[in-house]
């Protein structure tokens, strides 16, 4: 009698998992191989099985009941841990970046580990004006030569500034190259791909987490034109992966693991901008592929905990969640919508240009010799950035300090040059009336410097995004914006000699427009912007700018920067945003095509063990359809290559009488065999009895829709019940690339 590999109950769901039966025969065999896509439907089904098992066991004893409760709450526990760790890491990164950025200019004598700002807090002079001049803080020239002013001191400071920047950048790129090559870049394109169901082992590993955190600090401190926001999403996802491996519910199910990662991405954005709701929306709109409502609530919780942890660490010293808290008191007027929409147009154009230029440069890096010298490239970009940045005060300081100054409304006590309005000598007006005063000479100087800074940043960011250090885009592209308010406001808008519009608001709207143009986010962008700045009153301007910039950007090309990088790298990402509108049918896409060898199939009762082993050896397909007979070609199921290999190996080792000549049976009933025949092998338990099928007449748009919504890995094609062929996700992606006149072989896939 054949050995029963499985209890009858196991078979019900059609995907009986033989792994539970062999007592871990081969350690470290995971369900999917590296660079493979997952089958969402199968993962979901496995999770439901797990649930059922736990639910039925929980009635057995109190201990099992407790375990089932723990299992039910493990999702929330993971969220809590992710929130705590990513909040803590974000706080540490913020503090470290502050300190190291200031280290390029000088050092705090009273305590070496204080940043410039912290150093001067401890001093008694607390007004903003004296911030730069507190005695404990010494620039390098002061420390080394005793001179704070003069050409010599300037050159020495300049030289040391560049040297520190180069040192930080070199350290960052070396660490990345030696320890964790996946730690470079913003990580968001890869995370999008992973969340869509692709396996990239190690991309979210512990080493990547550690190295990314360290090199992120170094890269940002080196003054490169990159932000820490995108990488923080990667860091948070690494945390998510780390903690999900603690619970078998998530570690053994790639589908459930992706739910955790979606929530972790939300936590990452939450701490990057202090915008918990924006983070959830970002995860929903931009990053995630499969985002059930349950994940929405979990993400919400993770984002909350992360923001809260960051607030407790309080890296900005203002007890607020947000980095650039601003409070504007001036309302905006209807007519101002025109400049806001113009800012949106600018943002859209800039975004489209940036994407094209950056992709062109990255393609060049990939295809020419340039790509072979990543360290040199980083050093070169850093050197250029540092050399050009130092003379201009707006580029010298850290980007986020600049942004917070630009976003701010001018107050009467502000020493910023942007706020250098001519003081009314009579002082009859109330203090918040500054915008009505005529602009002073400082304002005009500031405008020139800002304009130069803008041009410099535009150019350098194109070359920076994509180099081999952790790099984010958010802050640099937000930075693009501040500069426009100048032209629009001071020149055109108001009556001559008096400036009447809040520049900070224009900076904010401009930032939203530029970010929108680059990333093509809409709702999440607006929410992030107004959570970031506290400017709730300005939803309408922000929305107007964001929608305009998206429209304008889309007119030049529908992809955002992340999709463009996904395509550049050939990741197998089935975008849910693109609509497939071509008139092809499943028959045009399936394999085998006309003239190709026939499909490799198994029959339900006509194959021997040897045949199967040969088939496995000769082909590299992930699975094989099983048909009634080669003549009728009626489909009965689908068997995974991995399961087949394991089952035969196991049967040969443990089951007596199974030899090469044994017939493999996928049928329910076994025929009575004469005793001369070798012992047959019954493998119905590993047969997926509910493979997904479509007919050959199904339009490809429907097939694409099914692949997207159900997250299939493959789909069988039939005509009136006969098996005709198979369509894999790779076939779908290739077909889509072909239809868009792209090289179908550019898609990386196994």
Within 308-327, the residues that bind a copy of itself by CB under 8 A are 308, 311-312, 319-321
Count of residues that interact with a copy of itself, criterion CB under 8 A: 80
Single residue of 585, 644, 648, 724 touching a copy of itself by CB under 8 A? 585
Cβ proximity of 16 and 686 under 8 Å: yes
Nearer to a copy of itself, 13 or 655 (CB): 13
Q: Which is nearer to a copy of itself, 107 or 508 (CB)?
A: 508
Cβ(169)–Cβ(175) below 8 Å: no
Do 563 and 742 touch, CB atoms closer than 8 A? no
Alpha helices (H) along 583-635: 586-589, 609-618
- Read off the tokens for 687: 């047969």
Residues 507-566 that bind a copy of itself (CB under 8 A): 522-523, 526-527, 530-531, 534, 536-537, 539-540, 543-544, 547, 550
- For the bound state, the minimum distance from the C-beta of residue 328 to a copy of itself, rounded and expressed in Å, comes to 13
Assess contact for 270 and 276: CB atoms under 8 A. Answer: yes
Which helix (H) or strand (E) segment is 122 a member of?
helix 116-122
- Using the rule CB under 8 A, is 660 a contact of a copy of itself? no
Q: Which of 1, 367, 368, 581 binds a copy of itself (CB under 8 A)?
A: 581
The CB-of-308 to a copy of itself minimum distance in angstroms stands at: 6
What is the footprint of a copy of itself within residues 334-373 (CB under 8 A)?
A: 334
Do 340 and 509 touch, CB atoms closer than 8 A? yes
Stretch that binds a copy of itself, among 235-243, 340-348, 360-368, 685-693 (CB under 8 A): 685-693
Query: How many residues appear in the chain?
Result: 750
Measured between alpha carbons, how far is 408 from 336 in angstroms, rounded to an integer?
A: 19
715 neighbors 707 (Cβ within 8 angstroms): yes
Q: Kindly tell me which of 96 and 547 has the beta carbon lying closer to a copy of itself.
A: 547
How many other C-beta atoms lie within 10 A of the C-beta of residue 377? 18
Q: Is 578 exposed, middle or buried (0-12, 13-18, 19+ CB in 10 A)?
A: middle
**Strand pairing class (635-640; 623-627):** antiparallel
CB of 48 to a copy of itself, least distance (A): 5
Per CB under 8 A, contacts with a copy of itself among 627-646 are 628, 632, 634-637
Shortest Cβ 292–a copy of itself spacing (Å): 8
Site string for a copy of itself, 698-737 (x = CB under 8 A): xx-xx--xx--xx-------xxxxx---------------
Comparison of 59 and 372: residue with beta carbon closer to a copy of itself: 59
Smallest gap from residue 528 Cβ to a copy of itself (A): 11
Please give the Cα distance from 667 to 683 (Å, whole number).
8
CB of 433: closest distance to a copy of itself in angstroms? 19
Kindly give the pairing relationship between strand 137-139 and strand 681-682: unpaired
- Residues 38-97 interacting with a copy of itself (rule: CB under 8 A): 41, 44-45, 48, 51-52, 55
| Nearer of residues 221 and 295 to a copy of itself, judged by Cβ | 295
Residues 5-24 that bind a copy of itself (CB under 8 A): 12-14
Site for a copy of itself in 476-495 (CB under 8 A): none
Give the shortest CB-167-to-a copy of itself separation in angstroms: 39
Q: How is residue 107 written in tokens? A: 């050092």
Report the distance separating Cα 549 and Cα 517, nearest Å. Answer: 5
Q: In the complex, what is the shortest distance from the CB of residue 478 to a copy of itself, in angstroms, rounded to a whole number?
A: 19
Alpha carbon 149 to its chain centroid, in Å, reads 45
CA angle 324, 330, 336 (to 5 degrees): 95
Which residue matches tokens 């394991």? 646
Peptide bond just before 592 cis, omega within 30 deg:
yes
Closest CB 89 distance from a copy of itself, rounded Å: 19
3-state secondary structure 686-697: HEECCCCEEECC
Binding-site member from 689, 737, 739, 748 for a copy of itself (CB under 8 A): 689
**CA-CA distance, 638 to 626, in Å (whole number)?**
6
Give the CA radius of gyration of the chain: 30
Task: Using CB under 8 A, pick the residue from 292, 391, 592, 671 that binds a copy of itself.
Answer: 292
**Of 126, 673, 697, 743, the one binding a copy of itself by CB under 8 A:** 697
694 counts as binding a copy of itself under rule CB under 8 A: yes
Give me the least distance between CB of 493 and a copy of itself, in Å please: 20
Which two three-digit tokens encode residue 207? Answer: 């080493």
Instruction: Supply angle C-alpha 405, 317, 514, rounded to 5.
Output: 35
Using the rule CB under 8 A, give the single segment among 124-132, 460-468, 575-583, 652-660 that binds a copy of itself. 575-583
Distance CA 147, CA 143 (A): 8
**Which phi-psi region, left, alpha or beta, contains residue 714 (left: φ > 0; alpha: ψ -120 to 50)?**
beta
Give the range of 339-347, 605-613, 646-654, 696-704 binding a copy of itself by CB under 8 A.
696-704
Token couple for 426: 């009579």
Distances (CA, A) of 119 to 144, 319, 416, 598: 19, 18, 20, 75
Report the residue from 301, 324, 624, 665 that binds a copy of itself according to the rule CB under 8 A. Answer: 301
> Of the two residues 64 and 696, which places its CB atom closer to a copy of itself in the complex?
696
Shortest Cβ 266–a copy of itself spacing (Å): 10
CA distance to 78, 120, 316, 738, per residue, from 588 (Å): 45, 70, 59, 12
Task: Confirm or reject binding of residue 127 to a copy of itself (CB under 8 A).
Answer: no
Is the Cβ of residue 48 or residue 660 nearer to a copy of itself in the bound state? 48
Instruction: Decide: 195 and 288 in contact? Cβ < 8 Å.
Output: yes
> 484 with 503: CB under 8 angstroms?
no
Q: Which stretch binds a copy of itself (CB under 8 A): 64-72, 358-366, 408-416, 626-634?
A: 626-634
The Cα–Cα gap between 54 and 603 comes to: 36
Closest approach, Cβ 649 to a copy of itself, in A, equals 26
Determine, following the binding rule CB under 8 A, whether residue 297 of this chain makes contact with a copy of itself: yes
Binding residue for a copy of itself, selected from 285, 405, 409, 643, defined by CB under 8 A: 285
Contact in structure between 269 and 300 (CB atoms under 8 Å): no
Shortest CB 709 distance to a copy of itself, Å: 4
Under the binding rule (CB under 8 A), the answer on residue 294 touching a copy of itself is: yes
Binder to a copy of itself among 8, 331, 497, 595 (CB under 8 A)?
331
How near is the Cβ of 61 to a copy of itself at its closest, in Å?
A: 21
Q: Is 24 left (phi over 0), alpha (psi -120 to 50) or beta?
A: left
Q: Which of residues 247-276 bind a copy of itself (CB under 8 A)?
A: 276
Using the minimum distance from each CB to a copy of itself, give the nearer residue, 691 or 725: 691
355 or 546: whose CB is closer to a copy of itself?
546
């Amino acid at each position: 009698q054949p050995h029963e590999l499985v209890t009858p109950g196991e078979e019900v769901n059609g995907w009986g998992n033989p792994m539970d039966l062999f007592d871990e025969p081969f350690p470290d065999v995971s369900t999917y191989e590296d660079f493979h896509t997952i089958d969402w439907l199968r993962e979901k089904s496995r999770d439901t099985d797990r649930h059922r098992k736990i639910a039925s066991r929980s009635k057995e004893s109190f201990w099992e009941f407790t375990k089932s409760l723990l299992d039910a709450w493990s999702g929330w526990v993971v969220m809590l841990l992710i929130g705590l760790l990513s909040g803590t890491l974000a706080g540490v990164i913020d503090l470290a970046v502050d300190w190291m950025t200031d280290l390029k200019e000088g050092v705090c004598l009273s305590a070496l580990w204080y940043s410039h700002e912290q150093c001067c807090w401890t001093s008694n002079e607390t007004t903003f004006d004296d911030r730069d001049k507190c005695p404990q803080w010494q620039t390098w020239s002061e420390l080394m030569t005793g001179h704070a002013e003069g050409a010599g001191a300037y050159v020495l400071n300049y030289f040391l500034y560049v040297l520190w920047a180069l040192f930080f950048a070199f350290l960052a790129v070396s660490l990345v190259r030696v320890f964790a090559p996946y730690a470079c870049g913003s990580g968001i394109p890869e995370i999008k791909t992973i969340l869509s169901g692709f396996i990239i082992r190690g991309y979210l590993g512990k080493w990547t987490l550690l190295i990314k955190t360290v090199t992120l600090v170094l890269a940002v401190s080196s003054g490169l034109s990159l932000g820490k926001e995108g990488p923080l999403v990667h860091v948070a996802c690494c945390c998510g992966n780390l903690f999900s491996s603690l619970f078998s519910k998530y570690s053994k199910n790639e589908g459930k693991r992706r739910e955790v990662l979606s929530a972790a991405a939300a936590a990452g954005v939450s701490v990057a901008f202090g915008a918990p709701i924006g983070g959830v929306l970002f995860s929903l709109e931009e990053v995630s592929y499969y985002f059930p409502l349950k994940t929405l609530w979990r993400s919400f919780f993770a984002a909350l905990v992360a923001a809260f942890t960051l607030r407790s660490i309080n890296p900005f010293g203002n007890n607020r969640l947000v980095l650039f808290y601003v409070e504007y008191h001036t309302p905006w007027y209807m007519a101002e919508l025109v400049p806001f929409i113009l800012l949106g147009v600018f943002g859209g154009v800039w975004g489209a240009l940036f994407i094209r230029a950056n992709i062109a440069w990255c393609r060049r890096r990939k295809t020419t010799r340039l790509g072979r010298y990543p360290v040199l490239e980083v050093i070169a970009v850093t050197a250029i950035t540092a050399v050009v940045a130092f003379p201009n005060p707006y580029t010298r300081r850290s980007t986020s300090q600049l942004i917070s100054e630009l976003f701010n409304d001018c107050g009467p006590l502000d020493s910023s040059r942007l706020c250098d309005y001519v003081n009314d000598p009579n002082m009859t007006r109330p203090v918040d009336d500054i915008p009505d005063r005529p602009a002073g000479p400082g304002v005009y100087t500031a405008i020139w410097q800002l304009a130069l800074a803008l041009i410099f940043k535009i150019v350098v960011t194109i070359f920076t995004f994509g180099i081999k250090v952790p790099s984010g885009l958010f802050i640099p592209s937000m930075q693009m914006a501040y500069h426009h308010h100048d032209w629009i406001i001071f020149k055109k808008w108001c009556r001559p000699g008096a400036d009447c519009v809040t520049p900070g608001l224009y900076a904010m709207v401009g930032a939203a427009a530029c970010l929108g143009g680059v990333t093509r986010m809409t709702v999440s962008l607006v929410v992030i912007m107004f959570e970031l700045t506290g400017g709730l009153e300005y939803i309408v301007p922000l929305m107007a700018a964001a929608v305009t910039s998206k429209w304008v950007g889309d007119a030049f090309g529908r992809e955002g920067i992340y999709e463009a990088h996904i395509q550049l790298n050939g990741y197998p990402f089935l975008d849910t945003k693109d609509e497939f509108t071509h008139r092809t049918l499943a028959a045009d896409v399936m394999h085998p095509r006309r003239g190709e060898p026939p499909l490799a199939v198994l029959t339900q009762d006509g194959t021997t063990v040897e045949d199967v082993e040969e088939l496995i050896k000769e082909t590299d397909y992930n699975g094989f359809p099983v048909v009634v007979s080669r003549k009728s070609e009626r489909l009965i199921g689908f068997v995974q290559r991995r399961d087949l290999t394991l089952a035969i190996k196991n049967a040969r080792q443990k089951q007596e009488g199974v030899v090469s000549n044994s017939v493999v049976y996928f049928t329910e009933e076994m025929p009575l065999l004469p005793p001369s025949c070798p012992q047959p092998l019954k493998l119905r338990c590993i047969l997926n009895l509910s493979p997904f099928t479509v007919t050959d007449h199904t339009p490809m748009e429907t097939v694409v829709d099914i692949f997207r919504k159900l997250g299939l890995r493959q789909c069988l094609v039939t005509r009136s019940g006969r098996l005709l062929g198979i369509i894999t996700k790779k076939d779908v992606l290739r077909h889509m690339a072909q239809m868009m006149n792209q090289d179908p072989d550019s898609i990386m896939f196994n």
